[in-house]
Chains A and B, each alone.
Chain A
């Protein structure tokens, strides 16, 4: 017994295509749009009557072909660039030769995508059994199946009968007679079957396709907007001067390194990885080294006159390893210690290059070697030697030999740069003193923060264990 609340189906069989077309037209005009048509051969009139648009498969073919062509050009171009073979002086990228491959790829991908599109749009293969289909529709008859609400059944029947069908069947093999396990509700939008669709707002297959197409078009527009925006930004970023940072190349010079070699390396560093131009390039943040400054001449000329008693290379080297010692008037002390980012050889190469600008290059391999050994040619450089300074076990002698008094004051002797040794035991304990000697970078005493980093971390290697402990205990005893 038919469920009176469920939609019903009417299947009309026509001998002539015109009758079927007219029936479909009148049903749609009456608002009865849940129509499925069966035909023994493709009939454009029936498709038009159902409101079908042009097949979307052509879009698949176009897209596939274009992708194939693009892929063909990409394949040939990238492989040529990756393994360039010069043939008869022709350019590496020879477009005419690539046309053949691209054409073949276009055809291949176009065909494949057309077939795929055909299957997808036709919803093939059908895996659910078709309902309502009658074999006579493959033998010459035209079928029109319409799903209607029960209150409109008579109207639909009247329309169909008006076209003189060969037969009208009511709910012949519809929902009520579906095979076991057949879920009619889920069939609503999926196949060309005469099953009552769920309440989804889709009137017919063509309406569903309309909505799907509209959604696809909208998605494509959004995708185009996104791609267009990304493309614009990428294009703008690629249209400005492209600058890449330089990585400092490790330098290694022998004792007989030439001035030209040093200058060349120094110039590369100055203009690139050394980062010098960032501040010295414009002359506003730091003195411009490539031009005259205040009438004192270019750097190679003025460097020898900056500090009395310091020759040019000593001044230049000192400026890089202890930049705050020689701040030019009118500029802020912002230059970092270049030893944090450059090796000794790189620094000397820079010195040589700067010397060459208006002056004479006096840097030699010996300067570089001496710098590597720790005993620099410049007086301002901190000692970096690792060999024990003395074999003595007397704490004061050890401190003198290790040049501690070069920065610390003790008993009226020494230079006041770091904390005084006098009264140290009253301020700190042995552990603190020990850490300060072995790892001076761990922290600075209050009031001496600006000198953090000035004390070299060499004393762990330079002093023996007993010497270290002797000095620590001596300093702790100073109260």
Chain B
């Protein structure tokens, strides 16, 4: 009896201690299961990497749209308020209606991305979540505030449309932008941490030891913020332009056609103007990448990803040519624009030459015979053009040319009446000429100095272009006061090919975003977090550009299909189009006095 009792007591003690251990030290007890957990999941047919890639890209495209549109919607509303022109207020409301239906899609794709990350990259998710958990909570909370603000902003539009209430409504729009920007800043910190973690974080650094703010505000965080903020405006303008083009092509009445012609013009104007400053933001990002890690920077620009920038140059060439083409066609509906028509062929030549120079590769993959024939690794002619000195010069000249197109468009049907008009025009011309000369001078000079000095020259080139744009605009604003109109802009009288140009612009902007996303992720190569968390999955290698192109095209197709469906949904509640009167100006074209249905 005693022996049985003793055995039982021992058994009881062992079991009790085990139970205690399980509760006090669950990690030890369940270590077998934790240790056996998988590092990577998979996704049928396309694989885990492509699934996450597509989800992330489509989510980002929608996010760019819902973040970019409020920026210029608020500006349009303010312009309508303080300028006393209700057309812009209605336009802003129509922009916001597009936003409303796209917002849900953004959130849905964000959820898809989150679940795919959790299931396919669980360890990476756990790692990042431990570092950024607080920011993730704030991120979710901001969604709530942003949604609330957006619904108030849209549904309160007609209710709060006078006096102080209107001012409050405008404030809601500004608040919407604040929340949206905050959301973007938080999300940007996660992906930039993966690219540029703080220098003191290494493979052995436990996530809990990573300083949260240091991880949040890492080296490439602010450059990405600036780049994306501007790119969102560009993208939003392009999608709005495509929407307007679609409505234009299907319009049943001349008034409807006129309204959407004007809307397309405004969307394109926003996109092209924001595009002019985007390269500078991209250059800032590139510099920060180089500053953070030379190897990453050199891989990006001179390594296996260098050819990607040739494709980017091709795409931006398409953008510049198409954008200018749209402006030139648009001048056909402006009385008095005929006098500028002869200049378009020269501008076309300048743009084409600029695109060719910009798209010229520097490094040619050549075999021994070709190297012997060329006399070296670099082509005797192309090798001269395929460097940043030539490319910076080309792109700055293209920017000046595009701005000149816009200036012609602005002044097409207006004759200035100020006494100093001739002098002002001469000054404007001189500014263009001086800027071009500065750009070309530093472009040529850059061949004779060291790389670090040459990089600094781009600041002068950019500065000259920006100064010219700002100066010419200021002069023109004053010069056009009281200008005599040569005739009303014939809104709506545009050939369909002009609208297809807007579609090409939208598709190209979208594809470009996909390409840049591939570039940003690809320079990490086989690292989830650069030199900290290695990618040991079967998809660790960065795929070649051709493969990436297929995925990007698929993402763009998915996005446009969904956008078309979403806009169709938004149009279901739309009232029949109603026109009121017609009027026009050139820069504030406004077109007809229109009250487009806004799904009220």
A residues within 8 Å of B by Cβ?
201, 211, 215, 218, 221-222, 225-227, 229-231, 233-234, 236-238, 240-248, 273, 275, 277-279, 282, 284-285, 332, 334-336, 340-341, 439, 441-443, 452-453, 457
How many angstroms between the C-alpha atoms of A233 and B199 in the bound complex? Answer: 38
Contact residues of B between 298 and 339, Cβ < 8 Å to A: 298-299, 302-304, 307, 310-311, 314-315
- 9 smallest A-B Cβ distances: which pairs? A237-B549, A238-B546, A334-B294, A242-B544, A278-B303, A245-B542, A243-B304, A230-B553, A247-B526
How many angstroms between the C-alpha atoms of A240 and B363 in the bound complex? Answer: 12
Given contacts A234-B553, A236-B314, A244-B543, contact A457 B204 (CB under 8 A): yes
Contact across chains for A233 and B511 when beta carbons are under 8 A apart: yes
Stretch from B15-23, B471-479, B501-509 that touches the partner:
B501-509
How many angstroms between the C-alpha atoms of A203 and B13 in the bound complex? Answer: 92
Name the residue on A nearest B203 (C-beta). A340
For B531, the chain A residues whose CB sits under 8 A away are 336, 340-341
Given contacts A336-B295, A441-B205, contact A234 B550 (CB under 8 A): yes
Given contacts A230-B556, A234-B553, A243-B307, contact A278 B546 (CB under 8 A): no
For B553, the chain A residues whose CB sits under 8 A away are 230-231, 233-234
A272–chain B nearest beta-carbon distance, Å:
9
The one of B293, B302, B507, B525 in contact with A226, judged by C-beta atoms closer than 8 angstroms, is B507
Contact across chains for B508 and A275 when beta carbons are under 8 A apart: no
Contact across chains for B549 and A340 when beta carbons are under 8 A apart: no
How many angstroms between the C-alpha atoms of A241 and B214 in the bound complex? Answer: 39
| In the complex, B500 has a CB within 8 A of chain A | yes
Give chain B's interface residue range (CB within 8 Å of chain A): 35 or more
Contact across chains for A340 and B202 when beta carbons are under 8 A apart: yes
Name the residue on B nearest A278 (C-beta). B303
Name the residue on B nearest A238 (C-beta). B546
Name the residue on B nearest A233 (C-beta). B511
B515–chain A nearest beta-carbon distance, Å:
8
Contact across chains for B543 and A215 when beta carbons are under 8 A apart: no
For B494, the chain A residues whose CB sits under 8 A away are none
Name the residue on B nearest A231 (C-beta). B553
Contact across chains for B310 and A233 when beta carbons are under 8 A apart: no
The one of A244, A336, A441 in contact with B294, judged by C-beta atoms closer than 8 angstroms, is A336
| In the complex, B273 has a CB within 8 A of chain A | no
Name the residue on A nearest B497 (C-beta). A225
| In the complex, B68 has a CB within 8 A of chain A | no
Contact across chains for A285 and B302 when beta carbons are under 8 A apart: yes
How many angstroms between the C-alpha atoms of A442 and B206 in the bound complex? Answer: 11
Given contacts A225-B500, A277-B303, A439-B209, contact A243 B550 (CB under 8 A): no
For B165, the chain A residues whose CB sits under 8 A away are none
Contact across chains for B504 and A229 when beta carbons are under 8 A apart: yes
For A275, the chain B residues whose CB sits under 8 A away are 295, 299, 303, 525
Per-residue CB contact flags for chain B residues 498-534 toward chain A (1 = under 8 Å, else 0) read 0010011001100100000000001001100001000
B173–chain A nearest beta-carbon distance, Å:
31
For B451, the chain A residues whose CB sits under 8 A away are 284
Stretch from B185-193, B245-253, B412-420, B462-470 that touches the partner:
B245-253
Name the residue on B nearest A279 (C-beta). B298
Given contacts A229-B507, A233-B511, A439-B209, contact A222 B249 (CB under 8 A): yes
A172–chain B nearest beta-carbon distance, Å:
32
A142–chain B nearest beta-carbon distance, Å:
33
For B504, the chain A residues whose CB sits under 8 A away are 225, 229
| In the complex, B369 has a CB within 8 A of chain A | no
How many angstroms between the C-alpha atoms of A424 and B546 in the bound complex? Answer: 58
Contact across chains for B304 and A452 when beta carbons are under 8 A apart: no
Name the residue on A nearest B504 (C-beta). A229
| In the complex, B114 has a CB within 8 A of chain A | no
For B507, the chain A residues whose CB sits under 8 A away are 225-226, 229-230
For B548, the chain A residues whose CB sits under 8 A away are 237
For A215, the chain B residues whose CB sits under 8 A away are 250
Contact across chains for A441 and B557 when beta carbons are under 8 A apart: no
Given contacts A215-B250, A234-B550, contact A247 B199 (CB under 8 A): no
Name the residue on B nearest A218 (C-beta). B249
For A340, the chain B residues whose CB sits under 8 A away are 202-203, 531
B300–chain A nearest beta-carbon distance, Å:
9
Contact across chains for A240 and B295 when beta carbons are under 8 A apart: no
| In the complex, B545 has a CB within 8 A of chain A | yes
How many angstroms between the C-alpha atoms of A78 and B310 in the bound complex? Answer: 32
How many angstroms between the C-alpha atoms of A334 and B250 in the bound complex? Answer: 58
Per-residue CB contact flags for chain B residues 442-474 toward chain A (1 = under 8 Å, else 0) read 000000000110000000000000000000000
Name the residue on A nearest B505 (C-beta). A229
A-B pairs with beta carbons under 8 Å apart, 6 shown: A221-B500, A233-B511, A244-B543, A336-B531, A341-B531, A453-B199
How many angstroms between the C-alpha atoms of A231 and B294 in the bound complex? Answer: 35
| In the complex, B540 has a CB within 8 A of chain A | yes
A437–chain B nearest beta-carbon distance, Å:
15
For B526, the chain A residues whose CB sits under 8 A away are 245, 247-248, 273
For B600, the chain A residues whose CB sits under 8 A away are none
How many angstroms between the C-alpha atoms of A221 and B504 in the bound complex? Answer: 12
For B550, the chain A residues whose CB sits under 8 A away are 234
Contact across chains for A233 and B315 when beta carbons are under 8 A apart: yes
How many angstroms between the C-alpha atoms of A35 and B250 in the bound complex? Answer: 26
How many angstroms between the C-alpha atoms of A373 and B249 in the bound complex? Answer: 73
Contact across chains for B545 and A240 when beta carbons are under 8 A apart: yes
A282–chain B nearest beta-carbon distance, Å:
7
Given contacts A233-B549, A282-B302, A452-B199, contact A240 B503 (CB under 8 A): no
How many angstroms between the C-alpha atoms of A284 and B387 in the bound complex? Answer: 13
Given contacts A225-B504, A234-B550, A236-B314, contact A247 B560 (CB under 8 A): no
Per-residue CB contact flags for chain B residues 180-222 toward chain A (1 = under 8 Å, else 0) read 0000000000000000000111111100010000000000000
Contact across chains for A278 and B298 when beta carbons are under 8 A apart: yes
Contact across chains for B199 and A282 when beta carbons are under 8 A apart: no
A371–chain B nearest beta-carbon distance, Å:
17
| In the complex, B365 has a CB within 8 A of chain A | yes
| In the complex, B573 has a CB within 8 A of chain A | no
| In the complex, B427 has a CB within 8 A of chain A | no
How many angstroms between the C-alpha atoms of A332 and B450 in the bound complex? Answer: 12
| In the complex, B541 has a CB within 8 A of chain A | yes
How many angstroms between the C-alpha atoms of A245 and B311 in the bound complex? Answer: 18
Contact across chains for A247 and B540 when beta carbons are under 8 A apart: yes
For B363, the chain A residues whose CB sits under 8 A away are 282
Contact across chains for A245 and B294 when beta carbons are under 8 A apart: no
The one of B299, B377, B543, B556 in contact with A278, judged by C-beta atoms closer than 8 angstroms, is B299
